[in-house]
């Protein structure tokens, strides 16, 4: 039986893009503090495991998700962030495609589900601040690395990419400016394929450069 370190925890901010909106994965807690409240997946670290191993374990135990790349994005150490005792939490973030995941509520999660990140209710502890830190991290990364390939299909029209950027940046983006920026930075390449079906005129497809 593993012994837990009761003042060190990990929390996971899992972001996905679905139905044209950026979403966050939350669990419904089955114990106090925060019984029946929706929160980020998180729990204590074991004495005999490294922090990044704990993050992967906790995410799998609570949501069924495994084999995703988790980036450490911050540490939360406010003295009163947890109601009963001092707990320092290390925040990890991952970008995933919700449609390919099978979610399974486990451990101390009653339910697990996706929520639109733009209209979240207040979450317990400091989880709203954690999500904001994840967004800030993502805003810095998207112009430097092709990390959005973890959110978009392998091939996509630029208007779908534009919807994703606008969801992350929470502002409108001019289509022509976006096209110039992502192409000039070498983030994507144009394909000799177009979208099929639908009511709109076929548009060229793009893919992220590897």
Q: For position 183, which CATH number holds?
A: 1.10.10.10
Q: For position 121, which CATH number holds?
A: 3.90.79.10
Buried residues in 70-95 as b, exposed as e (16+ CB within 10 A): bbebbebeeeeebeeeebbbbbbbbb
Structural domain range at position 178: 147-208
Q: 153 and 78, same structural domain?
A: no
Q: 184 and 124, same structural domain?
A: no
Q: 85 and 127, same structural domain?
A: yes
Q: 163 and 124, same structural domain?
A: no
Where among 113, 141, 169 does a domain terminate?
Answer: 141
Q: 122 and 170, same structural domain?
A: no
Q: Nearest CA to 14 among 156, 109, 143? A: 109
Could you tell me whether strands 42-46 and 4-18 are parallel, antiparallel, or unpaired per DSSP bridges? antiparallel
Q: 60 and 18, same structural domain?
A: yes
Where among 121, 141, 161 does a domain terminate?
Answer: 141
Where among 141, 158, 190 does a domain terminate?
Answer: 141
Q: Is the pTM of this model over 0.75?
A: yes
pLDDT in single tens digits along all 210 residues of the chain: 679 999 999 999 999 999 889 999 999 999 899 999 999 999 999 999 999 999 999 999 999 999 899 999 999 999 999 988 999 999 999 999 999 899 999 888 999 999 999 889 999 999 999 999 999 999 888 877 778 889 999 999 988 988 998 889 888 888 888 888 887 878 888 899 998 876 678 888 999 887
Q: How many domains does the chain have?
A: 2
pLDDT of residue 62: 96
Q: How far is CA 16 from CA 21, 109, 122, 153, in A?
A: 8, 19, 20, 12
d(CA 205, CA 207): 7
Residues serving a catalytic function are 111
Q: Nearest CA to 179 among 192, 190, 171? A: 190
CB contact at 8 A, 32 and 174: no
pLDDT of residue 41: 97
Q: Nearest CA to 71 among 13, 16, 146, 114? A: 13
SS3 of residue 164 by DSSP: helix
d(CA 166, CA 94): 19
pLDDT of residue 198: 66
């Amino acid at each position: 039986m593993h012994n837990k370190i009761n003042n060190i925890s990990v929390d996971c901010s899992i972001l996905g893009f679905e139905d044209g909106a950026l979403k966050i994965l939350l669990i419904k807690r089955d114990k106090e503090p925060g019984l029946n409240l929706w929160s980020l997946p998180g729990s204590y670290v074991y004495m005999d495991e490294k922090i990044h191993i704990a993050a992967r374990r906790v995410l799998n135990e609570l949501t069924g998700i495994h084999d995703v790349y988790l980036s450490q994005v911050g540490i939360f150490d406010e003295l009163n962030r947890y109601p009963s005792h001092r707990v320092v939490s290390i925040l990890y973030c991952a970008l995933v495609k919700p449609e390919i995941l099978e979610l399974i509520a486990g451990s101390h999660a009653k339910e697990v589900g996706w929520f639109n990140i733009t209209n979240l209710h207040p979450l317990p502890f400091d989880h709203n601040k954690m999500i904001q830190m994840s967004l800030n991290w993502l805003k810095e990364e998207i112009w430097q690395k092709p990390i959005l390939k973890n959110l978009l299909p392998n091939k996509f029209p630029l208007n779908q990419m534009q919807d994703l950027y606008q969801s992350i940046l929470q502002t409108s983006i001019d289509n022509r400016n976006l096209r110039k920026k992502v192409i000039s930075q070498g983030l994507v390449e144009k394909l000799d394929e177009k979208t099929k079906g639908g009511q709109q005129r076929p548009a060229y497809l793009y893919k992220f450069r590897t």
